[in-house]
Amino acid sequence: MTNMLYDALFAPLAGRDRGFLLLDDGREISGAAFLAMVARAGHALQAAGLRAGDRVAVQVAKSPEALAIYGASVALGAVFLPLNTAYTPVELDYFLGDATPAVFLCDPAAEAALAPLAARHGARLFTLDAAGAGSFAAAMADQPGTLTPAPRGEADLAAILYTSGTTGRSKGAMLTQGNLLSNARVLADLWRFTAEDVLLHALPIFHTHGLFVASNISLLTGGQMIFLPGFDLEAVLRALPRATAMMGVPTFYTRLLDTQRFTRDLCAGMRLFISGSAPLLAETHRAFAERTGHRILERYGMTETNMNTSNPYDGDRRPGTVGFPLPGVALRIMAEGAEVTGPGEAGVIEVRGPNVFAGYWQMPEKTAEELRPDGWFITGDIGRRDEDGYVQIVGRAKDLVISGGFNIYPVEVEAELDAQPGVLESAVVGLPHPDFGEAVFAVLVAQKGVALEAQTVLDGIRDRLARFKQPKAAVVVAALPRNTMGKVQKAELRKTYAGWFATPQA
Ligand code: AMP
Residue 188 lies in a domain: no
Nearest CA to ligand 1 atom 15: 277
Compute and round to an integer the Cα radius of gyration of the chain: 23
Whether 423 and 301 map to the same domain: the answer is no
From the CB of 65, is ligand 1 less than 6 Å away?
Answer: no
Residue 144 lies in a domain: yes
Mean pLDDT of 207-236: 98
| Domain encompassing residue 121 | 4-10+29-153
Nearest CA to ligand 1 atom 23: 278
Whether 412 and 375 map to the same domain: the answer is no
From the CB of 84, is ligand 1 less than 6 Å away?
Answer: no
Whether 239 and 251 map to the same domain: the answer is yes
Query: For the chain, how many residues are written?
Result: 506
Determine how many CB atoms are found less than 10 A away from the CB of residue 135. Answer: 15
Nearest CA to ligand 1 atom 7: 302
Whether 472 and 335 map to the same domain: the answer is no
Whether 218 and 72 map to the same domain: the answer is no
pLDDT digits (tens, 9 = 90+) for 352-390: 999 999 999 999 999 999 999 999 999 999 999 999 999
From the CB of 166, is ligand 1 less than 6 Å away?
Answer: no
Whether 418 and 283 map to the same domain: the answer is no
Measured from the CA of 275, which atom of ligand 1 is nearest? 19
From the CB of 170, is ligand 1 less than 6 Å away?
Answer: no
Residue 347 lies in a domain: yes
Structural domain ending residue among the three candidates 396, 428, 455: 396
pLDDT digits (tens, 9 = 90+) for 80-94: 999 999 898 988 999
Q: Are 205 and 188 in contact (CB under 8 A)?
A: no
- Pick from 331, 393, 484 the residue to mutate for probing ligand 1's pocket: most ligand atoms within 8 Å of its CB: 393
Structural domain ending residue among the three candidates 357, 381, 396: 396
From the CB of 351, is ligand 1 less than 6 Å away?
Answer: no
From the CB of 164, is ligand 1 less than 6 Å away?
Answer: yes
Nearest CA to ligand 1 atom 8: 277
Residue 480 lies in a domain: yes
Whether 368 and 474 map to the same domain: the answer is no
From the CB of 396, is ligand 1 less than 6 Å away?
Answer: yes
Mean pLDDT of 202-223: 97
Q: For residue 100, what is the domain's CATH number?
A: 3.40.50.980
CA-based angle 156:94:119, to the nearest 5?
A: 90
Whether 311 and 351 map to the same domain: the answer is yes
| Separation CA 439–CA 230 (nearest Å) | 38
Residue 20 lies in a domain: no
Predicted confidence (pLDDT) at residue 505 exceeds the cutoff of 60: no
Predicted confidence (pLDDT) at residue 141 exceeds the cutoff of 90: yes
Predicted confidence (pLDDT) at residue 166 exceeds the cutoff of 80: no
| Separation CA 132–CA 43 (nearest Å) | 17
Can you spell out the DSSP letters for 13-52? GTT--SEEEE-TTS-EEEHHHHHHHHHHHHHHHHHTT--T
**Helix, strand, or coil (residue 384):** strand
From the CB of 381, is ligand 1 less than 6 Å away?
Answer: yes
Nearest CA to ligand 1 atom 21: 279
From the CB of 279, is ligand 1 less than 6 Å away?
Answer: yes
Predicted TM-score (pTM) of the model is 0.91
| The pLDDT of residue 1 | 75
| Separation CA 449–CA 437 (nearest Å) | 36
| Separation CA 242–CA 268 (nearest Å) | 9
| The pLDDT of residue 496 | 96
From the CB of 300, is ligand 1 less than 6 Å away?
Answer: yes
Residue 165 lies in a domain: no
Residue 191 lies in a domain: no
From the CB of 187, is ligand 1 less than 6 Å away?
Answer: no
Q: Are 37 and 68 in contact (CB under 8 A)?
A: yes
Whether 484 and 458 map to the same domain: the answer is yes
Structural domain ending residue among the three candidates 396, 424, 452: 396
Nearest CA to ligand 1 atom 5: 302
From the CB of 309, is ligand 1 less than 6 Å away?
Answer: no
Q: How far is the CA of 178 from the centre of ligand 1 (A)?
A: 21
Whether 81 and 119 map to the same domain: the answer is yes
What b/e string do you get for 322-351 counting C-beta neighbours within 10 Å, with b at 16 or more?
A: bbbbbeebebebeeeeeebeeeeebbbbbb
| The pLDDT of residue 437 | 87
Q: How far is the CA of 395 from the centre of ligand 1 (A)?
A: 9
Q: How far is the CA of 125 from the centre of ligand 1 (A)?
A: 32
Whether 275 and 375 map to the same domain: the answer is yes
**Helix, strand, or coil (residue 485):** coil
Whether 404 and 391 map to the same domain: the answer is no
From the CB of 163, is ligand 1 less than 6 Å away?
Answer: yes
| The pLDDT of residue 86 | 87
Q: How far is the CA of 324 from the centre of ligand 1 (A)?
A: 15
DSSP strand pairing (198-201 vs 330-335): unpaired
- Pick from 160, 300, 348, 485 the residue to mutate for probing ligand 1's pocket: most ligand atoms within 8 Å of its CB: 300
Q: Are 382 and 346 in contact (CB under 8 A)?
A: yes
Counting residues of the chain whose pLDDT is more than 70, the rounded percentage is: 98
Determine how many CB atoms are found less than 10 A away from the CB of residue 289. Answer: 14
- Pick from 487, 488, 489, 490 the residue to mutate for probing ligand 1's pocket: most ligand atoms within 8 Å of its CB: 487
Predicted confidence (pLDDT) at residue 492 exceeds the cutoff of 90: yes
Mean pLDDT of 117-135: 97
Measured from the CA of 379, which atom of ligand 1 is nearest? 10
- Pick from 351, 381, 484 the residue to mutate for probing ligand 1's pocket: most ligand atoms within 8 Å of its CB: 381
From the CB of 322, is ligand 1 less than 6 Å away?
Answer: yes
pLDDT digits (tens, 9 = 90+) for 22-69: 999 999 999 999 999 999 999 999 999 999 999 999 999 999 999 999
Residue 502 lies in a domain: no
Q: For residue 341, what is the domain's CATH number?
A: 3.40.50.12780
Q: How far is the CA of 136 from the centre of ligand 1 (A)?
A: 34
Share the mean pLDDT of the chain.
95
* Residue 504 pLDDT grade (very low, low, confident, very high; cuts 50, 70, 90): low
Domain count, the chain: 3
Predicted confidence (pLDDT) at residue 143 exceeds the cutoff of 80: yes
* Residue 506 pLDDT grade (very low, low, confident, very high; cuts 50, 70, 90): very low
pLDDT digits (tens, 9 = 90+) for 327-344: 999 999 999 999 998 899
DSSP strand pairing (224-227 vs 198-201): parallel
Segment among 168-172, 260-264, 279-283 with least mean pLDDT: 168-172
Mean pLDDT of 206-228: 98
Q: Are 374 and 361 in contact (CB under 8 A)?
A: no
Predicted confidence (pLDDT) at residue 3 exceeds the cutoff of 60: yes
| Separation CA 340–CA 144 (nearest Å) | 57
Q: How far is the CA of 404 from the centre of ligand 1 (A)?
A: 28
From the CB of 85, is ligand 1 less than 6 Å away?
Answer: no
